[in-house]
Amino acid sequence: MTTDGLVVVTGATGRQGGATARRLLAAGRPVRALVRDTTAPAAKALETAGAELVRGEFDDPSSLPAALEGAAALFAVPPAAFGPDGPDTEREFGRGRGLIDAAAAVGVEHVVFTGVASTPGRPGGSEGKKRIEDHLHERIRSVTVLRPVRFMSNYLGSTPIGLDGIVDGVHRHIFPPDEPAQIVAVEDIAEFAALAFDQPDRFAGRTLELAGDAPTPADAVAAISEATGAAVRYEQITHAEAAALHPEIAQVRERWAAGSRWHADIEALRVIHPGLRTLTDWLSESGAALLRKRLLETA
């Protein structure tokens, strides 16, 4: 397998795909960014950095083979799908299957797929992601699977339902305040992807659960407060609050309380990637400045 050929990056205007595209471009690797809108600011920024832009749509599988033609490798982030009742597993799997089948049809040699961290009894983290992983192994000869935990950059913005992020000086989530909860920087997801593309024989067939740190939520907000100069506190939502947001969130909270936790081996990962970021590293590098800006915007 070639280690300097063109890499197609999906989700290139998002967090994982964007970080990976920038990391590969910085190393001189040719990158083709699969985007829905080639005129979007994030897409134009990648083009300025040296990426080739190509339009593709996961819900239009016919648009994918041409976007993948000539590529040696693929960084795959099939987007999750949601319907009125929550996650749409069939649509999510359909998106992943379409991308994988297109890659197989044009002869892509190596795929790095990034999914969701697993917990005991839930390999692949979710049904949709696990089905995509299984299909990937069936269709592509050389596969590396990355399963990242919660992103450090999630502190920068809350979900539409008000979970995660920092709102009015409060970070709210399902986790107990004084128990460790693993987190990872998206920049480190990009580092592991780059390693897999540079050393495909070493990483082919491997699945890596990814995390870089495991502070308690209380310690995490204390570190954020110190780094930003803004007072931030943590609040664990109750089961009733979780159920009111969505039944699946309540189920996740229950499983977590019962001991179903992420289990990345951070020390082993640090042997592979010695620069693996802690929360303090991420805050010092970029997180604190971004959080200060975010907190000022929402003040």
Q: In degrees rounded to 5, what are phi and psi of residue 35? A: -135, 160
Identify whether residues 228 and 290 lie together within a single domain.
yes
The domain boundary, picked from 148, 174, 203, lies at 148
Q: Extract the tokens encoding 104.
A: 């197989």
pLDDT digits (tens, 9 = 90+) for 33-65: 999 999 999 999 999 999 999 999 888 999 999
Q: How much of the chain is in helix, strand and coil states, percent to nearest 5? A: 45, 15, 35
Does a structural domain hold residue 207? Answer: no
How many distinct structural domains can be found in the chain?
2
Same domain, 44 and 133: yes
What is the predicted pLDDT for the residue at 79? 77
Residue 85 lies in a domain: yes
* The total number of residues written for the chain in this structure: 299
pLDDT at 160: 59
| Two tokens, residue 111 | 């795929």
pTM of the model: 0.94
Instruction: Kindly report the CATH number assigned to the domain that includes residue 251.
Output: 3.90.25
On whether residue 17 sits in a domain, the answer given is yes
Alpha helices in the chain (DSSP H): 15-26, 41-49, 64-68, 89-106, 127-139, 186-198, 200-203, 217-228, 239-245, 247-257, 266-272, 279-282, 288-297
Q: Which domain holds residue 131?
A: 7-148
Higher-scoring residue by pLDDT: 25, 3: 25
265 assigned to some structural domain:
no
Are residue 39 and residue 17 in the same domain, yes or no? Answer: yes
